[in-house]
Amino acid sequence: MEETETIIQMEDVHTPILKNISLQVKKGEIITLIGGSGAGKSSLLMLLNRLVDPDKGTIHFRGRDVRDYEIPKLRKSIGMVLQSSSLFEGTVADNLAFGPKLFQEWEENMGEELLAHVQLPASYLHREVETLSGGEQQRVAFARTLANRPDVLLLDEVTSAVDLKNVDLIEAFLLEIVPKNVKAIMMVTHDVKQARRLGDRTIFMENGKIVEMGPTEKLFTNPQTERLQYFLKE
């Protein structure tokens, strides 16, 4: 049986917040990260597309040290979506085209296809982003990131500020795009039920360290550490 491709590998990574982080991200998986506020979950994501660099340790993407990539190209391949949609003023089409135009990759027919991924009609291309609801803006933010054709998506509390309808739409979208459109997802969520619904593997963090990680259902049904047991009861 062929071994699943490793997309990201972190070995003994340290920052002022994170301590001794080692993990692998494999092709075709969604990894959910859980833990209390200040556990280091968002800090871990920021290392992967070089919003922050480690003081010690190595991070490899597709077998190469992330420091060997030009930062714009790395962030094109490892896309990030945040809790707030972070769209800029203008139309939906302006936002979708921004990244691909930097690399001369934008084609006019891409807009409709990208909106279809997030279940928005083509007519939204000409809408000003400020006229959209919060959930619609977040879906456009996903489409904008997908426009760069990333290999990996980093998601930081992306559904925490949207209504339940949009949560359901976004979750269905995430399950559909791996591995068809992206190779893997790392997703920080405060919602442990969401982590359980979406994750192939789950990482539990506390005080900048990985306390426990493993297949999601096993981790939730049979936690090995007292700290995770306590966290899941809260």
- Number of folded domains that form the chain: 1
**Mean of pLDDT values over 173-202:** 95
**1 in a structural domain:** no
> 167's torsion region: left (phi>0), alpha (psi -120 to 50) or beta?
alpha
Q: What is the pLDDT of residues 175-187, one digit of tens each?
A: 999 988 999 999 9
| Report field, pTM of the whole predicted structure over 0.75 | yes
**Mean of pLDDT values over 75-81:** 95
Domain of residue 80 covers 6-233
Q: What is the mean pLDDT of the chain?
A: 94
**36 in a structural domain:** yes
The token duo for 40 is 């280091």
Q: What is the pLDDT of residues 10-34, one digit of tens each?
A: 999 999 999 999 999 999 999 999 9
| Residue 64 CB contacts under 8 Å (≥ 6 apart), including other chains | none
The model's confidence at residue 3, banded by pLDDT at 50, 70 and 90, is: low
Alpha carbons 28 and 200: distance in angstroms, whole number: 9
User: What CATH number is associated with residue 119?
Assistant: 3.40.50.300
**Mean of pLDDT values over 129-134:** 94
